[in-house]
Amino acid sequence: MKPKLSDIARNLSVSSATVSLALSGKGRVSRDMVERVEAEARRIGYAPNQMGKALRTGRSTIIGLVLPDVGNPLFPRMARSIVQAAEDQGYGVLIADSHSGAQTQDRAVQRLVDFGSDGILVIPRKGTRIGSSDIPTAVIDAPTSPLNIVSADHHQGGALAVRHLREQGHQKILCLGGSSASLVQRTRVEGMQSAADGAEVTVHWMNESTPDIPALVRQGVTAIATTSDLMAVQVLTELGAAGLRVPQDVSLVGFDDLDVGQMIRPKLSTVGTSETEIGRRAIAGLIAMINGGERPKDDVVPMHLVQRETAIEIKPGGDEQ
């Protein structure tokens, strides 16, 4: 079947210990021997059996990833960067879905532990906290969240969105949050408010009440900032159906830089995160913990503004109807 360590040993008439030592570069092995072992390993296409290795070392080089429910549309990019980062460090990523319910989330963690994961990375569902387990666990959420290891700077991102609108002269800004139960979204909204700089910024939570957006625009709102691109698309189409134009009648900025933002006309201005960076740092931190390091300090990665077509300078004197 698949070539094993002892095949190399037999072919070279040495002990398997020597081969192992040679390949790992750990023990005292002659330079010559190392080369011969490596050559033979390549020749027969040797790849170490992870199970044997894991059993002996107690390390599976597998990281468990617990995903929030599918609803989160920026999960794919997140997952991708995490897998990529893990791969670069030689780790595999085992995934579990925590569908709905916080209790299932803990079960998912448990399953991953049972499979021998060396560490667990959790992107929690909004409003849940994860019970700490006995193996290294890291969370990607927000700085105030327990076990958090890295997060996007949602506060700064929110500020970025509103500051952009302020710079364009907007004085009456509507700020639309999806769910006030989400820590991330609350933080984004707080960031938005923090950049008000004298402008009138009113907040609406979609899970609490559904504002009549076209009406608000007719009452003088000149710009809308949402906490998600999906909501921005909803707003855009709703305004379109009501005969209002973006960005001529009202400016709009989204959040998350989803693909859909580039598809719609006009293209959506939005605030983006570097998922790659977050994934990389989360994995780096987690692996550090696995290797006996201390839990790294919270790491916050900044967001950036993506200027496209939905937010423009307010037309002079057009702010009062």
Partner DNA sequence: GCGGCTTGCTTAATCGTTTAACCTTAGGCG
Partner DNA sequence: CGCCTAAGGTTAAACGATTAAGCAAGCCGC
SS (H, E, C) the chain: CCCCHHHHHHHHCCCHHHHHHHHHCCCCCCHHHHHHHHHHHHHHCCCCCHHHHHHHHCCCCEEEEEECCCCCCCHHHHHHHHHHHHHHCCCEEEEEECCCCHHHHHHHHHHHHHCCCCEEEECCCCCCCCCCCCCCEEEECCCCCCCEEEEECHHHHHHHHHHHHHHCCCCEEEEEECCCCCHHHHHHHHHHHHCCCCCEEEEEECCCCCCCHHHHHHCCCCEEEECCHHHHHHHHHHHHHCCCCCCCCCEEECCCCCCHHHHCCCCCEEEECCHHHHHHHHHHHHHHHHCCCCCCCCEEECCEEECCCCCCCCCCCCCCC
Minimum distance from residue 118 beta carbon to DNA (Å): 14
Contact positions with its own copies (CB under 8 A) in 236-265: 236-238, 240-241, 245, 259-260, 263-265
Binding site partner of 27, from its own copies, DNA, none, Cβ cut-off 5-8 A by kind: DNA
Residue number with CB closer to its own copies (128 or 234): 234
User: 151 has which bridge partners?
Assistant: 300
**Interface with DNA includes 13 (CB under 7 A)?**
yes
Contact positions with its own copies (CB under 8 A) in 114-133: 114-116
Minimum distance from residue 138 beta carbon to its own copies (Å): 18
Minimum distance from residue 54 beta carbon to DNA (Å): 8
Q: Are strands 200-205 and 172-177 parallel, antiparallel or unpaired?
A: parallel
Binding site partner of 241, from DNA, its own copies, none, Cβ cut-off 5-8 A by kind: its own copies
Q: Interface with DNA by CB under 7 A: which range of 18-26, 89-97, 100-108, 147-155?
A: 18-26
Q: Which member of 10, 43, 44, 48 binds DNA (CB under 7 A)?
A: 48
Contact positions with DNA (CB under 7 A) in 51-110: 51-53, 55-58
**Interface with DNA includes 26 (CB under 7 A)?**
yes
Binding site partner of 274, from its own copies, DNA, none, Cβ cut-off 5-8 A by kind: none
Q: Which member of 7, 38, 97, 299 binds its own copies (CB under 8 A)?
A: 97
Question: Residues in the site for its own copies, rule: CB under 8 A?
Answer: 47-52, 54-55, 60, 62, 67, 70-71, 73, 75-77, 79-80, 83-84, 87, 92-97, 99, 111-112, 114-116, 230-231, 233-234, 236-238, 240-241, 245, 259-260, 263-266
Question: Residues in the site for DNA, rule: CB under 7 A?
Answer: 1, 4-6, 13-18, 20-21, 23-24, 26-30, 32-33, 46, 48-49, 51-53, 55-58
